[in-house]
Amino acid sequence: MILARLRMMLPPEKLTEAVKILTRAAERTRLETGCERCHVYRDAQEVNAILLEEAWKSDEELNNYLRSDSFRDVLMVMEMAVQPPEIQFSAIARAEGIERAKVARSPISLFL
């Protein structure tokens, strides 16, 4: 799995427009082959920050998306940013859920 993460700081007057564009792009992106999830978030501590987070099944499917119209809209929003956006693509070899926390917090695992 490939986790794509994009965080941008936007000018206050462009924030509403950027959220609308990214929300529409995320809706289209979720329909792309290989997209496991795509979400747009607002930062609770930095009101002008937006985070776009996506998960892709493979590099090939991510690359197809990066050439798509949906990503062109993301690039348009990136141009509105007041500073260079933070972009990260991470290959995830293994993902775990709540079971990991349960095991780590169980009394037996504390003695292993």
101: Cα separation from own chain's centroid = 23
The segments of the chain whose pLDDT lies below 50 read none
Note the pLDDT tens digit of each residue in 40-58.
999 999 999 999 999 999 9
Cα separation, 23 vs 1, whole angstroms:
22
| Residue 95, pLDDT score | 81
Class of domain 2-111: alpha beta
pLDDT at residue 93 in the model:
87
